[in-house]
């Protein structure tokens, strides 16, 4: 996938159209876009170290630090990268780089694990799932993906988070389908062993079946939830999955 860049044309399209074209179309459009040769994350790592080694702490460095974060480099990793590079590029340059890196990696307070989970899937994590929080143990997030005849939501569970036992009720039709998109989780029907879930797994939950779904104890987990159309559909929320029962899972 080609990286879209317009910074060259935005800043210098009139003054230096050739430079702008080389910047946007060649450097970003071709070199940065060769993901089959080197991932965006790796290219960010090389770029950040190169700029830091020159002592650059201008807006381009700020841009590349932000891009590095978006490309999946975590707070721990950038700290390690700059510490390592300090021995080769120079101690004061690392100090200058850290001043900007701390701002980029802390400004939204988002955890590295959450960022890494987001990096592993194409659907947005979305907002804290406050509307249903009373039916969940732990923190979950919800992103509606489609309105219309079939409701589709991306539901994300932090490690250890799961929803209560519940039943999808309907007079006719109804039920729910889960399409697992990232991380590792579980689905369990009442009286049955829990089924471990991975990206690509599909769960068909018939109307009237008591069940729960959620993350593994040590992993983030996201699934798309599809509301199967039916007559007078409703959710019947029941008791939480006990720590004792959930604690049996790995
Ligand atoms: Mn369900």
Structure confidence at residue 131 (pLDDT): 93
Give me ligand 1 centre to Cα 112, in Å.
28
Residue in the structure block whose two tokens are 């120079």: 90
Residues 198-226 have pLDDT tens digits of 999 999 999 999 999 999 999 999 999 99
Is the pLDDT at 109 greater than 60, yes or no? no
Give residues whose Cβ lies within 5 Å of ion ligand 1: 176
Structure confidence at residue 110 (pLDDT): 58
Give me ligand 1 centre to Cα 237, in Å.
10
Which H or E run contains 190? none
Residues in the chain: 250
User: Distance between CA 43 and CA 34 in Å, rounded?
Assistant: 10
Is the pLDDT at 241 greater than 60, yes or no? yes
Q: 224: which 2 tokens? A: 């798309």
Residues 154-167 have pLDDT tens digits of 999 999 999 999 99
Query: Using 50, 70 and 90 to split pLDDT, how confident is the model at 107?
Result: low
Residues 33-81 have pLDDT tens digits of 998 889 999 999 999 999 999 999 888 999 999 999 988 898 889 999 9
């Amino acid at each position: 996938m080609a990286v879209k860049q317009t910074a060259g044309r935005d800043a210098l399209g009139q003054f230096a159209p050739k430079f702008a074209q080389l910047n946007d179309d060649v450097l970003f459009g071709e070199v940065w876009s060769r993901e089959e040769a080197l991932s965006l994350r790796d290219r960010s790592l090389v770029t950040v170290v190169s700029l830091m080694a020159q002592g650059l702490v201008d807006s381009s460095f700020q841009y590349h630090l932000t891009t590095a974060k978006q490309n999946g480099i975590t707070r721990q990793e950038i700290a390690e990268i700059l510490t390592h590079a300090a021995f080769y590029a120079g101690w004061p340059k690392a100090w200058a780089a850290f001043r900007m890196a701390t701002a980029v990696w802390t400004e939204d307070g988002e955890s590295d694990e959450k960022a890494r989970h987001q990096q592993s899937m194409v659907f947005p994590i979305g907002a804290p799932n406050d509307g249903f929080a009373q039916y969940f143990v732990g923190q979950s997030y919800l992103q509606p993906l489609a309105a219309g005849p079939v409701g589709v939501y991306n539901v994300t569970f932090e490690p250890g988070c799961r929803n209560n036992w519940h039943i999808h009720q309907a007079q006719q039709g109804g039920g729910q389908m889960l399409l697992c998109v990232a991380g590792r989780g579980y689905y369990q029907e009442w009286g049955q062993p829990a089924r471990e879930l991975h990206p690509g797994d599909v769960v068909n939950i018939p109307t009237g079946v008591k069940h729960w779904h959620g993350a593994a104890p040590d992993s983030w987990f996201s699934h798309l939830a599809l509301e199967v159309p039916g007559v007078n559909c409703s959710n019947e929320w029941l008791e939480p999955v006990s720590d004792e029962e959930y604690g049996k899972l790995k």
